Structure 1
């Protein structure tokens, strides 16, 4: 580090906001940011040196996972139910994941493009427990961009 430079602390992972196009949700307790990878295509022609070239192939994105406590809101459930009934074609939405600093300012943003709920799951019920009932959504999507 150069003389006079200020050390910048990394952002914490516990202050964030999720925006789902036209769906109002109070908040999520956990969000798993999807991974991004590119297939490796191995290629070699007979006249080339005796090694395989590595070419980039298709880009792939992992599943976005959202977890929240169950409330009276049925919006996410209704979205999933519509997808079950008619397919995802006209029900895709854009989702924003926003990282917030200690002062509440937006610091980083990921845009999840053409997303749809491919799975909904609930934590178990127990008469002996006192945990919050959790709704987990797996969101499949076409692309992810980190815009800030």
Structure 2
């Protein structure tokens, strides 16, 4: 990878796309990983030696945490209300986490299968505080893969 490619590899901003709706004001993404179970196979070889083999298992479901400054956008609230009222047909969606460079060009996209919101947390409300008020959305998914 040459120097110009490394320059572009800096994630400047992030977005969430859920069923075609893009939310670009994400300031932090954590927990984005692809993981699978490990199956342990204990067996004896033909010459009688005991060995432990590690085999790939099923992909694991995961959680991603998205943080953004508090805005007037109510997409997070609407989405979590659907899941809290048991409307899982409406709440469970296909989505992607998108990484943008400094110029707003998409660098990478991570597809989330059957994702839905687990929780929405508003940052601490403290009178006189000069920090930005944030909202943190935790999304569960049934699989993550780069696109």
Q: TM-score band, normalised by the shorter chain?
A: 0.7 to 0.9
CA drift at 1:6: 4.8
The structure with the largest strand share of the pair is: 2
What is aligned with 1:40?
38
**Matches of 1:22 and 1:98, distance apart in 2:** 12
**Matches of 1:24 and 1:84, distance apart in 2:** 22
* TM-score computed with the length of structure 1 as normaliser: 0.81
Give the match's secondary structure for 1:79.
helix
CA drift at 1:124: 0.9
Which of structure 1's runs of 4+ aligned residues deviate more than 6 A?
A: none
What is aligned with 1:133?
133
What is aligned with 2:68?
68
What is aligned with 2:105?
105
CA drift at 1:84: 0.7
Q: 5+ residue gaps in structure 2?
A: none
CA contact (8 A) 1:35 1:61 kept: no
CA contact (8 A) 2:80 2:91 kept: no
RMSD over equivalenced CA pairs, Å: 2.4
The structure with the largest helix share of the pair is: 2
